[in-house]
Chain A
Amino acid sequence: DQQVKQNSPSLSVQEGRISILNCDYTNSMFDYFLWYKKYPAEGPTFLISISSIKDKNEDGRFTVFLNKSAKHLSLHIVPSQPGDSAVYFCAASYYSNYQLIWGAGTKLIIKP
């Protein structure tokens, strides 16, 4: 049973526009969420995280929103750039637990 779901396998966005990547989770015990970015032939790279005590966290062009009641988080990238083309993974954990539960990933393609 998938506890972290990324229902869109891929997403195509025009350069300069906003990219919105979505992630849903089923376990209400999760209280820490992360986004990782992965280029081909490389390992995942940490992008941004959010604790359940917040509903928004921002870092430059990247903002993560958390809706606990809906068990939903999203990653916004504004403006989208060609270098943002990658696979994005959502992951969740209990704050005091090492284990990350991963989504399947969404492939983001930024069109010039």
Chain B
Amino acid sequence: DAGVIQSPRHEVTEMGQEVTLRCKPISGHNSLFWYRQTMMRGLELLIYFNNNVPIDDSGMPEDRFSAKMPNASFSTLKIQPSEPRDSAVYFCATSRGGTDTQYFGPGTRLTVL
């Protein structure tokens, strides 16, 4: 069984550019989480979807960040415009239900110059 798939694995962009991160959840998993990991703040939950519906987006830093889940097989996290302080590793994780074990993708390392 394929695990959580994230793309790209690495992204280097310039300040002001739009960045789109992608996630394909494990088949049959109904919950999807986007996390950000930085040295200063550790792992932070950005947004949580259940059955494709955003349930909690209180962790999204500001309006520059948006996330969508158009269907059960795909989610995106978009940053527009990007800033150097957005540089981090972004993880997507999925689970069968909201309280079940979360399985993480390999992450996308974003560098904004």
Interface residues of A (CB under 8 A from B): 32, 34, 36, 41-46, 49, 89, 93, 95-100, 102-105
With both beta carbons as reference points, the residue of chain A lying nearest to B58 in the complex is identified as: A99
B107 & A43 in contact (Cβ 8 Å cutoff)? yes
Contact present for A43 and B101 (CB under 8 Å) = no
| Whole-angstrom distance between the Cβ of A42 and the nearest chain B Cβ | 5
Any chain A CB within 8 A of the CB of B12? no
Residues of B within 8 A of A32 (CB): 99
Q: In the complex, how many residues of chain B place their beta carbon closer than 8 angstroms to a beta carbon of chain A?
A: 21
> Which of B43, B48, B106 is within 8 Å of A42, CB to CB?
B106
Which of B33, B42, B55 has the largest count of A CB atoms less than 10 A from its CB? Answer: B42
Q: Does B104 contact A (CB under 8 A)?
A: yes
Across the interface, do A99 and B48 meet the contact criterion of CB distance under 8 Å?
A: yes
Q: Collect the chain B residues with CB atoms within 8 Å of residue A99's CB.
A: 45, 48, 56
Q: How far is the CA of A97 from the CA of B100 in the complex (A)?
A: 10
Cα-based distance from A96 to B4 in the complex (angstroms): 24
In the bound complex, CA of A44 to CA of B106 (Å): 8
Instruction: Say what secondary structure dominates the interface of chain A.
Output: loop
Given known A98-B31, A102-B43, A104-B42, contact A46–B103 (CB-CB < 8 A): yes
B31 touches A43 (CB 8 A): no
B67 to chain A, nearest CB (A): 15
Contact A98 to B107, CB < 8 A, known contacts A89-B43, A103-B42, A104-B42 = no
Q: With A and B bound together, what is the CA distance between A45 and B3 in angstroms?
A: 11
> Does B98 count as interface, using CB distance less than 8 angstroms?
yes
Q: Which residue of B lies closest to A49 (CB)?
A: B101
Find the residue from A43, A102, A103 having the highest chain B CB count within 10 A.
A43
Asked if B105 lies at the interface with its beta carbon under 8 angstroms from chain A, I say yes
A43 engages B43 (CB within 8 Å): no
Distance in angstroms between the alpha carbons of A42 and B106 in the assembled complex: 4
Check A43–B4 contact: CB distance below 8 A.
yes
Q: B102: which of A96, A97, A100, A105 is its contact (CB, 8 Å)?
A: A100
5 contacts across the A-B interface (CB closer than 8 A): A32-B99, A43-B91, A43-B104, A98-B33, A98-B98
> What's the Cα separation between A36 and B105 when bound, in Å?
13
